Structure 1
């Protein structure tokens, strides 16, 4: 039995055993644990388990790294953001009823080509939507009240990926990942797979280590260090808008440093 057939068998067992609302909510919780909490914890553990490796691969200097108390605070706030999003989802599921769902829980899972197409579509949609939301959050009239919280950690750690104001967490972290595929009517498994990937990418981008090349953590690490550079996730929108260089917003004629 090939992988697709095995997945189909497992999916058939799930949808015939559990109610739609239960599947929807359980998938949301599991994707956050598997995609973010476990990887973020592993990245954070490198400091303790492999201190020499950690010191050799940290992108920013030791003096810029957050203290233990700051890291603990970061973890608490990030876990709170996960909890309130799950709670909101649970409330929506409750009012809809466990027998109903607005998601595509088709008993037949799509072919690999559809999974790949959905992934590429979602990746581009997330890059575009996140870029413009992120740029808006850097506007002076908004930054102080919302996005400044996320930039508390100029040398980020993995859990800092979702250390954010609740409004930012919803608009920048949750909706750009989930909404495009939902509006497309993609299968729930496509949404879950993409969510797990993006949650891992967020943890990796904020890990603070240079050994991660895909995604290249240096790009977003530089954003936390310099603030006004690299607003996107994969670099496409920054390349289009010219925001992939430090000093893009200065007067012409001043030196620029290519990222």
Structure 2
């Protein structure tokens, strides 16, 4: 077997396992074993069909293959010599692993917001992004369910990161795994954010499962990935977001969180 093909198969196998574990475990918990337990957490009451799950998994395997190719190009080809990737852990302070991870997520969120808005252009939407929006009621399996073209645009952020900031391969791995975990939460179909989030500063900054679910059900607004910042700055956050979030949390906790927040301020 050709060495390149051998490396591809190895990395693809690992990535596929990551997909089925990180997306599969929440799916089993929320959609199979504890569905009734989490009934009040469900954002949309209608159920997705098994055909949707199969389509999402098929497209996700295609996306996984594309992301593996992008990772291979970045880490295992001469391109690496022109990037800021470093392999000596002593080249930078140990805290830089965490710092570079956080910076990578911020870069990704900015890239994703503007790329995502571009994909909603009428022509590009029909050409590529429509595949992802077939999941009007998203599940964890839809997290990587992209058209072949969109898979490349999604993964291309890695090239931007490795040319902008020094990153260790460990950071790249953490970025991939943690980014996907957050993506699964956004597509979970259930809201699991703690009650305390609503009255904290973090609510003004972070996205939630409700936030991205509204994007799938309404087809516009809420273009951000990890944060609400760009949507709020650009006026693209869906006007019903906070009201919808409060509705779900009221179903979960039995209290009107907005009224509670107003009373605490008073």
TM-score (norm 2): 0.72
Q: Distance in 2 between matches of 1:157 and 1:24?
A: 28
For structure 1, the residue ranges without an aligned partner over 5 or more in a row are 1-21, 248-255
SS of 1:53's equivalent? coil
- Sort the Cα spacing of 1:195 and 1:55 in 2 relative to 1 into closer, same or farther, 3 A: same
SS of 2:67's equivalent? helix
Q: Distance in 2 between matches of 1:59 and 1:242?
A: 23
Q: Distance in 2 between matches of 1:60 and 1:106?
A: 48
TM-superposed CA distance for 1:72, in Å, is 1.6
Q: Distance in 1 between matches of 2:184 and 2:20?
A: 8
Which of 211, 217, 231 in structure 1 is aligned with 2:209?
217
Which of 39, 43, 53 in structure 2 is aligned with 1:55?
39
Which of 219, 226, 231 in structure 1 is aligned with 2:223?
231
Q: 2:153 — aligned with what?
A: 171
Please tell me whether the aligned partners of residues 62 and 148 of structure 2 are also in contact (alpha carbons under 8 angstroms).
no
Query: What do residues 172-231 of structure 1 show as CA deviations (whole Å, max 9, x unaligned)?
Result: 2x122x234311231111121111110111111101111145752111011101111110
Which of 140, 153, 162 in structure 2 is aligned with 1:182?
162
Q: Distance in 1 between matches of 2:71 and 2:100?
A: 23
TM-superposed CA distance for 1:246, in Å, is 3.3
Query: What do residues 132-158 of structure 1 show as CA deviations (whole Å, max 9, x unaligned)?
Result: 100000011211111111100111001
Please tell me whether the aligned partners of residues 201 and 215 of structure 1 are also in contact (alpha carbons under 8 angstroms).
no
Please tell me whether the aligned partners of residues 224 and 230 of structure 2 are also in contact (alpha carbons under 8 angstroms).
yes
Which of 27, 36, 41 in structure 2 is aligned with 1:44?
27
Worse-matched range after superposition: 186-195 or 111-120 = 111-120
TM-superposed CA distance for 1:51, in Å, is 2.4
Q: Distance in 2 between matches of 1:228 and 1:235?
A: 14
Give the paired residue count.
225
Please tell me whether the aligned partners of residues 140 and 187 of structure 2 are also in contact (alpha carbons under 8 angstroms).
yes
Which of 134, 142, 152 in structure 1 is aligned with 2:134?
152
Query: What do residues 29-71 of structure 1 show as CA deviations (whole Å, max 9, x unaligned)?
Result: 646643x431100121121111212433211012xx2211221
Q: Distance in 2 between matches of 1:201 and 1:147?
A: 20
Q: Distance in 1 between matches of 2:76 and 2:93?
A: 33
Q: Distance in 1 between matches of 2:160 and 2:34?
A: 39
Worse-matched range after superposition: 180-189 or 23-32 = 23-32
Q: Distance in 1 between matches of 2:100 and 2:191?
A: 29
Please tell me whether the aligned partners of residues 137 and 147 of structure 1 are also in contact (alpha carbons under 8 angstroms).
yes
Please tell me whether the aligned partners of residues 149 and 165 of structure 1 are also in contact (alpha carbons under 8 angstroms).
yes
- Sort the Cα spacing of 1:48 and 1:106 in 2 relative to 1 into closer, same or farther, 3 A: same
Q: Distance in 2 between matches of 1:216 and 1:148?
A: 22
Q: 2:106 — aligned with what?
A: 124
- Sort the Cα spacing of 1:125 and 1:84 in 2 relative to 1 into closer, same or farther, 3 A: closer
Q: 2:237 — aligned with what?
A: 244
